[in-house]
Amino acid sequence: MIIKVMLSVLISSMVAMGLMIVCTIISKSSIMDREKMSPFECGFDPMSSARTPFSIQFFLIAVLFLIFDIEIAIMLPIILTMNNSMTSMWLFVITVFIMILILGLYHEWKNGMLEWAE
């Protein structure tokens, strides 16, 4: 019984080592390829300086998008819990939540954070 276990461990280790060696040999040619080393989505060149400036308006719009995306993710479970909670308490929570969102949007609009071009 112990011999069978040891033989299984030995065979599986040899197969794993063999696969790692084959993958290393195959991937040697693609390691230094500049196209494969470049990022897929972000659009920044990885070989240039990391301190290149980018638009702060783009950053603000991206943050606003994330905030509103998270708000929707928070509001969906609140809608599903409507049947299990008291209606007056549920309405109060939803009203306070939406008022905070509207006040935040008004504050951003008032400070000119939503202006793309100045």
Q: Do 43 and 57 fall within a single domain? A: no
Taking residues 96-102, what's their average pLDDT? Answer: 89
Residue 93 has pLDDT above 80, yes or no: yes
What is the per-residue burial (b if ≥16 Cβ within 10 Å, else e) of 35-63?
Answer: eeeeeeeeeeeeeeeeeeeeeeeeeeeee
* pTM of the predicted structure, to 2 decimals: 0.46
Same domain? For 70 and 15 the reply is no
Interhelix angle 87-110/56-80, nearest 10 degrees: 170
What per-residue confidence (pLDDT) applies to 1? Answer: 81
- What pLDDT score does 37 carry? 62
CB 97 within 8 A of CB 78: yes
Q: Which two tokens stand for residue 89?
A: 């308490």
Say what percent of the chain tops pLDDT 70. Answer: 75
- Each residue's pLDDT tens digit, 19-35: 999 988 887 666 566 66
100 and 78 together in one domain: yes
Total count of domains within the chain:
2
Q: Which range of residues forms the domain containing residue 59? A: 53-118
Cβ-count burial 76-110 (b if 16+ within 10 Å, e if not): eeeeeeeeeeeeeebeeeeeeeeeeeeeeeeeeee
Task: Find where tokens 């783009």 sit.
Answer: 58
- pLDDT for residue 81 is more than 60: yes
Grade residue 63 by pLDDT with cuts at 50, 70 and 90: confident
On whether both 81 and 31 belong to a single domain, the answer is no
Residues 6+ apart with CB under 8 A from 41: none
**Co-location of 64 and 43 in the same domain:** no
- Name the band, by pLDDT with cuts 50, 70 and 90, for residue 14: very high
Our CA angle for 63, 68, 71, nearest 5°, is 130
Residues 86 and 36 both lie in one domain: no
